[in-house]
Homo-oligomer: A and B are copies of this chain.
Amino acid sequence: MGKIDEMKTSTRVLMGPGPSEVHPRVLRAMATPLIGHLDPEFLGVMDDIKAMTQETLQTKNPLTFVVSAPGSAGMETCLVNLLEPGDEAVICIHGVFGNRMAEIAERCGAKVIKVEAEWGTPIKIEDVERALKNRSPKVLAIVHAETSTGVLQPLEEISRLTKAAGALFVVDAVTSYCGAELKVDEWGIDALYSGTQKCLSAPPGLSPVTFSQAAIDVLESRKTKVQSWFLDLTLVKNYWAGAKRAYHHTAPVSAMYAMREALRIVLEEGLADRFKRHQRNYELLRDGLENMGIKYLVEEKYRLPMLNAVRIPEGVDDTDVRKRLLEKYNIEIGGGLGPFAGKVWRIGLMGESSDANHVNMLLAALKDVM
């Protein structure tokens, strides 16, 4: 093997579907020399993260913690802990991440009932009603902010229907967390996972998760062991919340330092102001794109402010434009996933990346390269 040199990366403007840009304070916190994962000072760091995660999720759930792996592992955590072989799970699918939930639920041995909507539209209430009729599934799972389509899914009515059917309400909030209203307790969410690399603007690699008491009751009355040892909350919870803070696995100390600082920045700005900023920069981008004749995929009232899915104009080459944006302007935007590959761009305005200067830079660069 030849000698591998010092790492040299370009200074990118991150406007894809995540990771978003990270504040220098977060990078600096992450570079703090390490302490042990069982050091009383580190347990204090965990307590701080837990308290700030509760506040940002608007929940009082005592079982609020961070999975030591990215959002997909958070998704798997929620499903493997709540589902046992033979359980019924209603999974709502309006994009890639709903499909992923169904895939994981099937691997748990659950009987999956799919409620689908056309990609780019939200799940319809009446379709949920129909799926729940004469059924009492263990869970209903749905994506709040579909990163593959840019759809913001209204949750409150579906939560009510789910409760009425006696099921647990499981929500994917990977992309909405810290960028749009998300009220875990008020909306009756029983299990929720997110990621750090979207509107929280910390590096990727961690997944905040919260479980309601109803979800804990289901967890504690399981007949079978959780199929994943690493994600087994009957074990993990003793490290996060146990009286003895028992060792389970070695926590990613540096990533937790970063998350702590990112949460502080969110709370300094305030959730309400942060959501307004995300909305304002979305509007700036929308107006600019529409002036260029670029159309959104999603009807205005269901659009995510932090993830703008737009149709690639006729005759414009997807790969070529994204390559030139990256090479000439150092700007990253995202391509389409699955059936949207080559047809849709996904422009992220998440956390630190939700910024008027970013929007203006991108609009000018797009005009040039298109």
| A residues at B contact (CB < 8 Å) | 1, 4, 6-7, 9-12, 14, 16, 18-19, 21-22, 27-42, 45, 48, 51-52, 54-55, 68-73, 75-76, 100, 103-104, 106-108, 195, 197, 203-205, 225-230, 247-255, 257-258, 260-261, 263-264, 267, 326, 332, 337
Contact = CB atoms under 8 A, between A and B. Distances in A.
A44 to B, nearest CB: 9
A209 to B, nearest CB: 14
A264 B332 CA distance: 28
A203 B257 CA distance: 11
Identify whether the interface residues of A are mostly helix, strand, loop, or mixed.
loop
Contact of A7 (B27, B34, B247, B261): B261
Given A10-B41, A33-B11, A228-B76, A204 B252 contact: yes
Contacts of A263: 4
A247 B337 contact: yes
The 10 tightest CB contacts between A and B, nearest first, are: A205-B252, A69-B69, A203-B254, A31-B31, A72-B249, A27-B31, A204-B250, A104-B229, A73-B230, A36-B332
Contacts of A226: 107
Contacts of A106: 225
A230 to B, nearest CB: 5
Contact of A33 (B4, B22, B250): B22
Contacts of A100: 229
B229 A107 contact: yes
A17 to B, nearest CB: 9
17 contacts: A4-B51, A4-B267, A9-B41, A16-B38, A19-B253, A21-B34, A27-B32, A28-B31, A30-B31, A40-B326, A68-B73, A70-B252, A72-B229, A204-B252, A204-B254, A252-B255, A254-B258
A70 B68 contact: yes
Contacts of A21: 33-34
A190 to B, nearest CB: 21
Given A33-B27, A255-B205, A260 B7 contact: yes
Nearest to A264: B4
A45 B40 CA distance: 35
A253 B203 CA distance: 7
Contacts of A16: 36, 38
Given A30-B254, A255-B252, A326 B197 contact: no
Given A68-B70, A257-B7, A252 B203 contact: yes
Contacts of A9: 32-33, 35, 41-42, 45
Contacts of A29: 7
A36 to B, nearest CB: 5
A21 B100 CA distance: 38
Nearest to A67: B69
Contacts of A40: 326
Contacts of A225: 106-107
A66 B196 CA distance: 20
Contact of A107 (B103, B197, B204, B227): B227
Contacts of A33: 9, 11-12, 21-22, 27
A9 to B, nearest CB: 5
